[in-house]
Amino acid sequence: MTGAGDFDLLLVPPRPRTGWRVLPARVTAMCVVELQKLRHDRTELYTRAVQPALWLLIFGETFTRIKVIPTGGIPYLDYLAPGIIAQSTMFIAIFYGIQIIWERDSGVLTKLLVTPTPRVALVTGKAFAAGVKAMIQAVVVVLIAALLGVSMTWNPLRLAGVIVVVLLGSAFFSCLSVTIAGIVLTRDRLMGIGQAITMPLFFASNALYPTTAMPDWLRYISVINPLSYEVDALRGLLLGIPSDLPLDFVVLFAAAAIGITAASGLLGRLAR
Amino acid sequence: MRDDTPAVSCTGLSYSFGQTKAVDGLDLTVVSGEVFGLLGPNGAGKTTAIRCVTTLLPVPSGMVKVFGYDAATEQMAVRRLLGYVPQQLSADGGLTGRENVSLFARVFDVSRRERAARVGQALEVVGLADAADRLAATYSGGMVRRLELAQALVSSPRLLMLDEPTIGLDPIARTSVWEHILAVRAATGMTVLVTTHYMDEADQYCDRIALMHHGRVRALGTPEQLTDDLRARLGDGSSPTLEDVFRDVAGSGLNEGGGEFRDVRRTRNTASRVG
Ligand SMILES: Nc1ncnc2c1ncn2[C@@H]1O[C@H](COP(=O)(O)OP(=O)(O)O)[C@@H](O)[C@H]1O
Ligand SMILES: [Mg+2]
């Protein structure tokens, strides 16, 4: 039975990567796994496309017609599309913590925690893996929007900016989710909290309407909501309407960094 | 030129979950190159002890060393030397066998040039070469265990840690898992630390065993030593088994000990997932 094959390679330990090289290697490993899983099971890809399609098709088309939302002169559907990209990628990221808890329960995460992977590298890897999923979702929504006649940019530089924004946004929201997972520890509780916060995050942002149309208290909330900055950046990049891109990028970078730090700190709790 | 640093040494290792003292003053030395068995009933603290050694649970420095590296202060060095197979079935069912092993090749820094060949060898060694490109979700319990063994082996660990590797498996799969463990050990000379609550396995496959009960080691030695000692002590011509040795040191049998609700439930969960 065994001994049939050679196992000379297994006798020599691999040479460890050191220093800064560890992080990109782990991020790549986590993203590869995410893509492999998606290749084997694409159902999630299709079911996830339904909601944003409905938002654009029904909500978008209707409000384009009745013209009650001040969009600064562009069709409401165009205005809405970046908001729906941000919203639907946020949904994916927020529920990423559930996958992490599943991986904890099944032992997959436990084993990864025993590899030469610092917590920060593992969390960053997972955050980017969530970003990979979000990015595919973003492409799907862009395509749906294009089909509905939204005219967005095809400038490669701007699209690269879109990728960065979506990655940073989902890094923040997936780390938020992992942080909550590290606090509540069970899937059911995380599911409940996830459901409780997604809608408020969505409505307390500029995804559906400009902040100028909000009552004061809601506007204050939207100022501290990273989703607002993500939407603002996406609108600026995809539609070319005035937006504060430098501020958006700074806020998204900071949010992602804070999220990764918090999640790394709490990841150990999931292992116990 | 083998140095005699122990593969694992625990001195006064203790770990509590709230009020529960899961491990309570454990002293243990695993000699480099041996197959060491940690034998004890459910709830004895085997898994907790293993998880302290793997750096999963935080321990004070000085308590746990792996080949001389401190599990508290030199975590990365310790992890590089370990291949760990946890008690639950931990392969990812959404990936193929090959992808499961490949992930561990990547996170242990196997170079891209060598990766495919190395992953192939690891799968070959555990007899999964033919099933390598099927999703792990379609594997039987015994195959998943062998896949996990391949995941652990792909990084050429010096210490292989297996937590109840045969729990819930049928006798044939159990034998096959053990045969692969021993074949790998023979070929690589790696140290194996294994936990089990199956007395016959400890007896048959381990060089030395520690009987664990309520978080402590109650008896230690080769299976022959342990039974011989008891035979000499009883002096009535009977030939005691490991089970009798355990009863002698713990006051109850292996199958009657411990076993709070959560332990039983966990064991069942693992068993049913293996199913
Ligand atoms: N995560 C945990 N939280 C609380 N108690 C735990 C946890 N893990 C184990 N225990 C308790 O610690 C004791 C030892 O458990 P464990 O190390 O799993 O034993 P074994 O592996 O020998 O069956 C048991 O009483 C068990 O209930
Ligand atoms: Mg156990």
Q: What does the domain layout of chain B look like in residue ranges? A: 222-275
Q: Is B257 in the pocket of ligand 1 (CB under 6 A)?
A: no
What three-state secondary structure class fits B87? coil
Residue A229 phi/psi, 5-degree rounding, is -70, -35
Q: Report if residue A231 sits inside a domain.
A: yes
| % chain A with pLDDT above 90 | 79
| Whole-angstrom distance, CA of residue A185 vs CA of residue A203 | 27
What's the CA-to-centroid distance between B191 and ligand 2, angstroms?
20
Residue with tokens 């891209």: B112
For chains A and B, count residue pairs whose Cβ atoms are closer than 8 Å: 134
B83 CB contacts (<8 Å, ≥6 apart)? Answer: B151, B152, B153, B155, B157, B159, B160, B161, B190
| Whole-angstrom distance, CA of residue B95 vs CA of residue B147 | 12
- A10·B118 Cβ contact <8 A: yes
CB A48 within 8 A of CB A94: no
Average pLDDT of the segment spanning B227-239: 84
pLDDT confidence of A79, banded at 50, 70, 90? very high
Boundaries of domain holding A100: 23-39+50-270
CB B185 within 8 A of CB B193: no
Average pLDDT of the segment spanning A230-252: 95
Its pTM stands at 0.90
Q: Report if residue A17 sits inside a domain.
A: no
Task: Indicate the top mutation candidate among B15, B19, B46, B47 to test ligand 1's pocket, ranked by most ligand atoms within 8 A of CB.
Answer: B47
A161 CB contacts (<8 Å, ≥6 apart)? Answer: A233, A237, A245
- Helix B141-153, helix B112-125: angle, nearest 10: 140
Average pLDDT of the segment spanning A237-259: 95
CB A103 within 8 A of CB A37: no
What three-state secondary structure class fits B210? strand
What's the CA-to-centroid distance between A124 and ligand 1, angstroms?
30
DSSP category for residue A24: H
Average pLDDT of the segment spanning A140-146: 93
pLDDT for res B237: 77
Average pLDDT of the segment spanning B199-210: 93
When CB atoms are compared, the residue of A7, A37, A103 closest to B187 is A7
Residue B157 phi/psi, 5-degree rounding, is -70, 155
Q: Is B34 in the pocket of ligand 1 (CB under 6 A)?
A: no
Average pLDDT of the segment spanning B140-161: 96
- B56·A26 Cβ contact <8 A: no
Report ipTM for this prediction: 0.90
Q: Report if residue A7 sits inside a domain.
A: no
